[in-house]
Amino acid sequence: MEKPLKRRAFEGTWNVVRFNWHFYVLFSLLSTFIWFFLCSPWAALLPAKGQVLLGCAWGLGFLSMLLSLAVSWYVYDYSPLYTFNWLKIKTLPNGLLLNIHAGFDETSFLLQKQFPLAQVQALDFYDPQLHTELSIKRARKVYPPYPNTLSIKTQSIDWPSQSTAHIFLILSAHEMRKSDERVVFFTELSRLLTEEGEMVVVEHLRDVPNFLAYNLGFFHFHSSKTWLETFKNARLQLSNSYRITPFLQVYHLKKHGATP
């Protein structure tokens, strides 16, 4: 089974909901309880100020959920994220292109369509012992793997050195929660790059826009400072950095000492 090359309307928003449905169910149950409590005689047990605060908390929570869904639609369904028209690379891929993900691969088919002269090879670094997010497990069951996808270990990648000029990590690298794992992994990726090769990393950041959009969910992302430290410790140098939207950061990386 192959994934359609054209994304469906609201596909990204629907993915957010169905892969994280436990959060929405929990919020719905809590909201229902608060609503019925405020409408019941039991509400009189709280002073008027307490009732107002509880009502405001319910309203803010509801608005926060709606905002997160609206931003998800904007990022995953409306923005040019999956068109790759935003990509600022000097040389179009026409050889081996490694697309690395954590088991949720929305982009390999699209990259092959965007760069028909490239040979897209998907590498899956998902390890259930290290990467324990429920959303990944659910996504793996829904999305078919790209043909000939290979599983790899973040500690050591069984792939030839200097074998590719293009590596992509799109909304996947943040699943590595530990700093040491990220540094070792990116050091390995640097080994795979040719001397003039380029790596593209796309991530949400732990910053103000993503906090406003996802509330406490922004803790699932890493800060820009954390990413830059990871790249530096992996001996990768930043060649370009820009935003696709206020919520997505793109990093272009080269081997340390490579020509900008």
For the domain that residue 93 is a member of, what is the CATH number?
A: 3.40.50.150
Average model confidence (pLDDT) across the chain? 87
pLDDT, tens digit (0-9, with 9 covering 90-100), for 101-160? 998 898 999 999 999 999 999 999 988 777 666 667 777 777 778 999 999 999 999 999
β-pairing verdict for 96-101 and 119-124:
parallel
The pTM of this model reads: 0.86
Whether residue 38 is found in the same domain as residue 162: no
- Please give the tally of structural domains in the chain: 2
Whether residue 72 is found in the same domain as residue 114: no
Whether residue 56 is found in the same domain as residue 90: no
Whether residue 110 is found in the same domain as residue 202: yes
Tokens of 78: 């409306």
The helix (H) or strand (E) run that includes residue 109 is helix 108-114
Q: For the chain, how many residues are written?
A: 260
Whether residue 109 is found in the same domain as residue 236: yes
- 48-73 vs 21-39: helix crossing angle, rounded to 10: 150
Nearest to 20 by CA among 52, 57, 65: 65
Window from 136-145, 224-233, 242-251 with minimum mean pLDDT? 136-145
Side chain identity at 128, as an amino acid letter?
P
pLDDT at 116: 94
Domain containing 155: what range?
81-255
pLDDT at 1: 38
Among 28, 56, 78, residue at a domain's last position:
78
Among 16-30, 42-56, 168-182, the range of highest mean pLDDT: 168-182
Whether residue 70 is found in the same domain as residue 102: no
Whether residue 105 is found in the same domain as residue 23: no
- 179-192 vs 224-233: helix crossing angle, rounded to 10: 50
pLDDT, tens digit (0-9, with 9 covering 90-100), for 7-32? 778 888 888 888 776 777 777 777 77
Whether residue 167 is found in the same domain as residue 42: no
